[in-house]
Structure 1
Amino acid sequence: MATDDVRTDRLSVLLDQFDKAREQAQVRLTGLTDEEYLWEPVAGCWSVRRRGEATTPRAYGPGEWVLDLGAADIPGGEYAEVARQAASGMSVAQIAEDWNVSEARVEEVLAHEGEPEPDRTAVTTIAWRLCHLHTGFAGGWEWAFGGKKQDPKLMVDFTPDAALALDRFWAAIDQWRDSIGTLTEEQLDTVGFSTYPYGSDAYDPFVSVVAGGNLEFIHHMAEIAVLRDLWRAGRQ
């Protein structure tokens, strides 16, 4: 379907949204220095650290540098996601395995009524947010278009070098985008087109996975933009 030469089919709308967000993000990340990349605006931030210096219990990565990750739980902001997982057909046991929590904790979340308590998650650095995105998109490509074998948490070689991290990140983003651009309508509707080992991707039509990737990219890039604003404001 076309309107004034502008395609409005599902895939075109999603790609247009992603392309515009990527363009804006690349402009906003121009000139990122190592110091700013690793800047910790408050005490107790999660970031990229040498393996021997990480204090979070589930920090991960394949090399010398790892990405902080705290104790397993389901934060309040993710209660709705757990409900969606259950509605999509995931069992309590599968949800518990996905979040690395007990089945009792999943049942507690599913039974919760009213608004959950506000999250008390750590503030994260630009490095953490960028590497978190890199992990997701690299792993997302592997489990939808690649060999569907590599653990996403071991795919990205984290680095304290901002320029190198960005070069690797944009390469992963472009690989994802190029592959998304080849999808057919049938593939978009296929449940299990992605078998990503974390989350509910394997239980969702792939169009939902693509839309979710756009949302993840946009909201983390907005957070990074705010951190850059705060960094600059603190040095005026």
Structure 2
Amino acid sequence: MADMIAPDPVTRDILAIFEEVRYQLFGRLEGLTDAEYHWEPVGDCIGIRPGDDGLFRVATLFPESSPDAPDPVTTIAWRIWHIGNLCLRGYVIYLFDDAPDYGDRDVWPGTAKEGIQALAEDWEHFISRIAALGDKRLLAPIGMGPGGWADETYLKLALHALKEATHHGGEIGLLRDLYLREGV
């Protein structure tokens, strides 16, 4: 990613911000253990778990909120999955013509090392597509995609991806801080 230089100013700036967020997020993920990856700080935590076939899958795609109860707590594994698979990979699949074959999208790595690697790959796939657009295409309507995205711009999509990465990345950092202090 650091080698990508975009001549168009909007593309250049959005890629620079993505690089800063990537640096911070992956810095916080250094040394992540499998125990931290799956740590459930509360009893009704949502994570990824092995199925009868031994493959790990997310337990709940979209945790439900309620005005009568706090939002569900999710594991670091769930948050890494959410950024990588649900957001970045999903955006590539549904909003770009040249999506790779990801196989079974419901399956996610069960180890911290493999989960971080999958996130890095999903990040790179998404960023490479944003970089290739250039400002003119970045600022034009996408023209395809689910849920009203066809009328939105790729810039809005990139900004939404940044929002998801920073929001969930911050919570990953907090979960790591809490895990390290558990029982202290």
Q: 1:67 aligns with which of 58, 63, 68?
A: 58
Measure, in 1, the Cα distance between the counterparts of 2:160 and 2:61: 23
After TM superposition, give the deviation of residue 8 of structure 1 in Å: 8.8
Match of 1:205 in 2: 153
Measure, in 1, the Cα distance between the counterparts of 2:175 and 2:121: 23
Match of 2:9 in 1: 9
Tell me if structure 2 keeps the 8 A contact 1:65–1:157: yes
Contiguous gaps of at least 5 residues in structure 2: 1-6
Measure, in 2, the Cα distance between the counterparts of 1:189 and 1:220: 26
Tell me if structure 1 keeps the 8 A contact 2:95–2:144: yes
Match of 2:4 in 1: none
SS in 1 for 2:132: coil
Could you say which structure has the greater relative contact order, defined with CA pairs below 8 angstroms and 6 or more residues apart? 2
Alignment of 1:98-137 (within 5 A): 117=67, 120-135=70-85, 136-137=87-88
Tell me if structure 2 keeps the 8 A contact 1:193–1:206: no
Q: Which entry has the higher C-alpha Rg, 1 or 2? A: 1
Q: TM-score normalized by structure 1?
A: 0.65
Tell me if structure 1 keeps the 8 A contact 2:50–2:110: no
Match of 2:3 in 1: none
SS in 1 for 2:46: coil
Asked if residue 224 in structure 1 is aligned to residue 175 in structure 2, the reply is: no
Tell me if structure 2 keeps the 8 A contact 1:143–1:149: no
Deviations 1:24-62 (A, max 9, x none): 11111000010010000001000001235xxxxxxxxx9
Measure, in 1, the Cα distance between the counterparts of 2:63 and 2:32: 31
Specify the code of the residue in structure 2 equivalent to 1:169: L
Match of 2:91 in 1: 140
SS in 2 for 1:66: strand
Match of 1:187 in 2: 137
Measure, in 1, the Cα distance between the counterparts of 2:163 and 2:144: 17
Asked if residue 171 in structure 1 is aligned to residue 162 in structure 2, the reply is: no
| CA RMSD, Structure 1 to Structure 2 (Å) | 2.9
